[in-house]
Amino acid sequence: MAKMMYREAVVSTIAAEMERDPSVVVLGEDVVGGMGTAGGPEAIGGIWSTSTGLFGKFGKDRVIDTPISESAIMGAAAGLALAGKRPIAELMFADFIGVSLDQIWNQIGKFRYMFGGKSKCPAVIRMAYGAGFNAAAQHSQSVHQILTGMPGLKVVMPSTPADVAGLLRQAIRDDDPVIFLEHKALYATSGEVPDGEHLVPFGHARIARAGEDVTIVATGMLLGFCEAVADKLAGEGIGCDVIDLRTTSPLDEEAILDSVEVTGRLVVVDEAPPRCGLATDICSLVANKAFASLKAPPQPVTPPHTPIPFAREMESAYLPSADKIEAAVRKLLDWR
Amino acid sequence: MQLSREALLQAYRQMKVIREFEERLHSEIQTGEIAGFTHLYAGQEAVAVGVCEHLTPADKIISTHRGHGHCLAKGCDVNDMMKEIWGSREGLCRGKGGSMHIADTNVGMLGANGIVGAGAPIAVGAALSNKLDGPDENGKLRVAIAFSGDGACNQGTTFEAMNLAVVTQAPCIFVFENNHYSEHTGVDYAVGTSKDIASRAEAFGMKVWRADGTDFFAVYETMRELLDYVRAGNGPAAVEFDTERFYGHFEGDPQRYRGPGELDRIRETRDCLKAFRASVTGARLLTDADLDALDAEVMDAIEGAVETARAAPRPTAEDVLTDVYVNY
């Protein structure tokens, strides 16, 4: 086990997989950084420092610095994957999916099905998402609800450095396209990462806290808030079963339903907008398949249905917080 | 340039297969037996064949909305394609793709596309893959070809792809088939660079060629030159072929935008198959009898493909759930 930061888990896993498999290729804007400047190649190494050192080690044909051309990056990833390579394409900010959505949605996500299962498209699309930096409406979004709604894509949302390593290694080796969402507020967080061939299969949630009174489902940065709430309530004798989904597609329905059968109470915490999203999806799942177990109506905890505001006070008010999560839990316990 | 008798017969056969495939689809579609949208390639055969006759399965192509010709020229099986268009579970894409989404990676055909302009960046990716694999035993790079029409040339994806190809020196070839219509709108209106698409590629720093796309020999010779250049590692290149579309944008398009007598005129004066026949018989390379025999053979093959497609097994509701990763 080695202690490392979330961002270090990204770059070390990519480097290890590039070492192991010559078909793994990295491409994206500024993944090398400094190309065509006086500072020269590797002056940057990715704006999130998630590709630092790869260019020097693997060269320009495997670490491809691209112009600012999101459609071309995603299209090139599609072409590389169809031609037998395993591209890892970086989108920098998840907010930019709109610029390249056709290539992600209509091309990469559909090739396998549309071509009758005879073609595979093993592309990994990495992107940084989430609020917490006061970067406002075009640089703070959580886009998993959009991408999870697209059949053909696998969607991964790690919350710990260990899961970054295990899920990213799995993603690179997967024969289907994988959207790999890294929360930008987590890049500098640290944790133990198992050495060597650490793999985390998709569709298997992690139980971050075990408890028998309330089920809390979350992903990414918000998981830490949920854990804090669980720890606090444990002092009062209230047990929270905190489920880290890890992947939203495939979704570990079993873990959610098994937990709700015991607790009878569900809180779903999500950073994406409330309408047609992950929180409503999971509330609906539980209402459909575990209605008899429920002691109270499922509670979504999400931002309001607005774009993300800029000012510190407004961003804090916008995001789900530990207080809001705790209030939702208490509301369920007090119900009737 | 002198092509062998075998090469001439092969080129003619390929063009004729595409033509008859399309003519037959045109008449079958009237019966209502074929579902969905179909965009016919007839008229442009010299481009697909003049390009693809130079390629091996290691060379990749990305096709367009109007993809049947590219698929057939690149080596997709005619029966499997017909079955796909009929929607059979035995079709080339198991009935999941249909006319607009045919692919066969085994022959280097990486897909027709339902989205105009989507193919060019994908071709750059395939070219980067070939670049990474390095030259073949003869020191030549394998290439990837992006077929685009004059409609697709106005999409931002095409511009992004050309720039990325130049920046990365990808062995990618942009083949622009200018058939003068993007859907139902004329090139004079929609292409804002004096009707000239090749000059756009030139602006990105690429060497470009221009040729008559209804003349198989012009296409073939241009591509020979262009491929020598790209395979030698000089980076991407582009070519614009001036060609003709004998049918509408889609089957059922009433083509009210065509000028009086336009379709008859292009069929008479700009038909690549007629021009090929006149050229090879005039030069006494092949006889009318040689070509008539091939025509008969192709007609039988297409008849066989239609019969096979008509009799092929239909998909079931269970087939909806296969070939996607989540099993519901």
**ipTM confidence:** 0.92
DSSP SS3 for B164: helix
The partner residues of B61 in beta bridges, in order of sequence, read: B109, B145
Residue A323 lies in a domain: yes
**Kind of pairing between the strands at A266-269 and A299-301:** parallel
Give the integer Cα–Cα distance in Å for B245 and B183: 11
Q: Please, are residues A12 and A4 in contact by the beta-carbon 8 Å criterion?
A: yes
Residue B261 phi, psi dihedral angles, 5° rounding: 75, 5
Q: Are residues A174 and A275 in the same domain?
A: no
**Amino acid identity of B105?**
T
What is the percent of chain A where pLDDT is above 90? 97
Residue B97: name the closest of B106, B85, B105 by CA.
B85
DSSP SS3 for A204: coil
Kindly report which listed range (A117-121, A152-156, B76-80, B82-86) carries the lowest average pLDDT score: A117-121
Q: Within an 8 Å CB–CB cutoff, is residue A66 touching chain B? A: yes
Give the integer Cα–Cα distance in Å for B143 and B124: 10
CATH code, domain carrying A158: 3.40.50.970
Report the pLDDT value the prediction gives residue A20, as an integer from 0 to 100. 98
Report the pLDDT value the prediction gives residue B60, as an integer from 0 to 100. 98
Give the integer Cα–Cα distance in Å for A180 and A165: 11
Q: Is A274 exposed, middle or buried (0-12, 13-18, 19+ CB in 10 A)?
A: middle
Residue A138 has pLDDT above 70, yes or no: yes
Tens of pLDDT, residues B124-156 = 999 999 999 999 999 999 999 999 999 999 999
Q: Is A325 exposed, middle or buried (0-12, 13-18, 19+ CB in 10 A)?
A: buried
Give the integer Cα–Cα distance in Å for B257 and B274: 25
Residue A199 lies in a domain: no
Mean pLDDT of A159-170: 98
Residue A102 has pLDDT above 90, yes or no: yes
Residue where a domain stops, chosen among A193, A215, A236: A193
Q: Are residues A13 and A98 in the same domain?
A: yes
Instruction: For chain A, positions 129-158, list CB contacts with chain B under 8 A.
Output: 151-152, 154
Tens of pLDDT, residues A71-85 = 999 999 999 999 999
State chain B's mean pLDDT as an integer.
96
A169-187 in b/e burial notation, b at 16+ Cβ within 10 A? bbbbbbebbbbbbbbbbbb
Q: Is B120 exposed, middle or buried (0-12, 13-18, 19+ CB in 10 A)?
A: buried
Give the integer Cα–Cα distance in Å for B241 and B282: 24
Q: Please, are residues A125 and A109 in contact by the beta-carbon 8 Å criterion?
A: no
And the tokens for B150? 């004059």
Determine if the peptide bond prior to A177 is cis (ω within 30°). Answer: no
**Amino acid identity of A48?**
W
Q: Are residues A147 and A283 in the same domain?
A: no
Residue A45 has pLDDT above 90, yes or no: no
Q: How many domains does chain A have?
A: 2
Residue B328 has pLDDT above 50, yes or no: no
Domains delineated in chain B: 5-317 (3.40.50.970)
Residue of A nearest to B327 (CA): A250
**Amino acid identity of B91?**
G
Chosen for mutation from B122, B155, B318, B321 (greatest number of chain A CBs closer than 10 Å) is B122
Give the integer Cα–Cα distance in Å for B47 and B178: 10
Instruction: Using CB atoms, pick whichever of B102, B113, B324 lies closest to residue A113.
Output: B324
How many other CB atoms are there within 10 angstroms of residue A294's CB atom? 18
Which residues in chain A are closer than 8 Å to B325, comparing Cβ atoms? 112, 152, 154, 176, 250
Report the pLDDT value the prediction gives residue B193, as an integer from 0 to 100. 75
The partner residues of A53 in beta bridges, in order of sequence, read: none
Residue reference for tokens 């002056």: A43
Q: Within an 8 Å CB–CB cutoff, is residue B67 touching chain A? A: no
Report the pLDDT value the prediction gives residue B327, as an integer from 0 to 100. 52
Q: Are residues A55 and A166 in the same domain?
A: yes
Q: Are residues A115 and A60 in the same domain?
A: yes
Which residues in chain A are closer than 8 Å to B122, comparing Cβ atoms? 75-76, 78-79, 82, 103, 107
Give the integer Cα–Cα distance in Å for A82 and A111: 9
Residue of A nearest to B58 (CA): A83
Instruction: Using CB atoms, pick whichever of B93, B111, B121 lies closest to residue A71.
Output: B121
**Kind of pairing between the strands at B60-62 and B144-149:** parallel
The alpha carbon dihedral of B216, B219, B224, B227 has a sign of negative
Q: Are residues A174 and A225 in the same domain?
A: no
Residue A200 lies in a domain: no
Mean pLDDT of B294-314: 98
Q: Are residues A175 and A234 in the same domain?
A: no
Residue where a domain stops, chosen among A147, A168, A193: A193
Residue of B nearest to A151 (CA): B324
Residue A66 phi, psi dihedral angles, 5° rounding: -110, 160
Give the integer Cα–Cα distance in Å for B158 and B174: 9
Q: Within an 8 Å CB–CB cutoff, is residue A36 touching chain B? A: no
Which residues in chain B are closer than 8 Å to A66, comparing Cβ atoms? 164, 167-168
How many other CB atoms are there within 10 angstroms of residue B258's CB atom? 15
The partner residues of B173 in beta bridges, in order of sequence, read: B145, B237
Residue A201 lies in a domain: no
The partner residues of A195 in beta bridges, in order of sequence, read: none
Q: Within an 8 Å CB–CB cutoff, is residue A64 touching chain B? A: yes
Residue A298 lies in a domain: yes
Tens of pLDDT, residues B83-119 = 999 999 999 999 999 999 999 999 999 999 999 999 9
DSSP for residue A106: I
CATH code, domain carrying A324: 3.40.50.920
- Residue B325 pLDDT level (bands cut at 50, 70, 90): confident
Residue B194 has pLDDT above 80, yes or no: no
Residue B220 phi, psi dihedral angles, 5° rounding: -60, -45
Q: Are residues A17 and A153 in the same domain?
A: yes
Q: Within an 8 Å CB–CB cutoff, is residue A170 touching chain B? A: no
Give the number of residues written for chain B.
328
Is residue B145 within a helix (H) or strand (E), and if so which, with residue range?
Answer: strand B144-149
Mean pLDDT of B160-169: 98
Residue A140: name the closest of A75, A99, A94 by CA.
A94
Residue of B nearest to A28 (CA): B164
What is the percent of chain B where pLDDT is above 70? 98
Q: Within an 8 Å CB–CB cutoff, is residue B62 touching chain A? A: yes
And the tokens for A254? 């079993």
Stronger pLDDT, B243 or A46, i.e. the higher one:
B243
Residue B109 phi, psi dihedral angles, 5° rounding: -100, 100
Q: Please, are residues B42 and B72 in contact by the beta-carbon 8 Å criterion?
A: no
Mean pLDDT of A179-208: 97
Residue A227: name the closest of A147, B260, B38, A217 by CA.
A217
Residue B110: name the closest of A116, A124, A104, A119 by CA.
A119
Q: Please, are residues B68 and B84 in contact by the beta-carbon 8 Å criterion?
A: no
Q: Are residues A91 and A219 in the same domain?
A: no
Which residues in chain A are closer than 8 Å to B161, comparing Cβ atoms? 72, 75-76
Q: Give catalytic residue positions of A.
A: 139
Chosen for mutation from A26, A74, A114, A289 (greatest number of chain B CBs closer than 10 Å) is A114
Q: Are residues A80 and A50 in the same domain?
A: yes
Tens of pLDDT, residues B18-44 = 999 999 999 999 998 999 999 999 999
A67–B122 C-beta distance less than 8 A: no
Residue of B nearest to A84 (CA): B129
Residue B209 has pLDDT above 80, yes or no: yes
Instruction: For chain B, positions 97-126, list CB contacts with chain A under 8 A.
Output: 97, 101-105, 110-111, 113-115, 118, 120-126
Instruction: For chain A, positions 278-317, list CB contacts with chain B under 8 A.
Output: none
Which residues in chain B are closer than 8 Å to A116, comparing Cβ atoms? 91-97, 323
Tell me the DSSP string of B199-234: HHHHHTT-EEEEEETT-HHHHHHHHHHHHHHHHTT-
B164–A72 C-beta distance less than 8 A: yes
Give the integer Cα–Cα distance in Å for B74 and B106: 10
Residue A330 lies in a domain: yes
Q: How far from chain centre, in Å, is Cα B208? A: 19
Residues 6+ apart with CB under 8 A from A333: A213, A214, A238, A265
Q: Are residues A81 and A151 in the same domain?
A: yes
Q: Are residues A157 and A220 in the same domain?
A: no
Helices then strands (H, E): number in chain B? 12, 7
Residue of A nearest to B108 (CA): A83
Residue where a domain stops, chosen among A151, A168, A193: A193
Report the pLDDT value the prediction gives residue B105, as an integer from 0 to 100. 95
Which domain covers residue A288, as residue numbers? Answer: 206-334
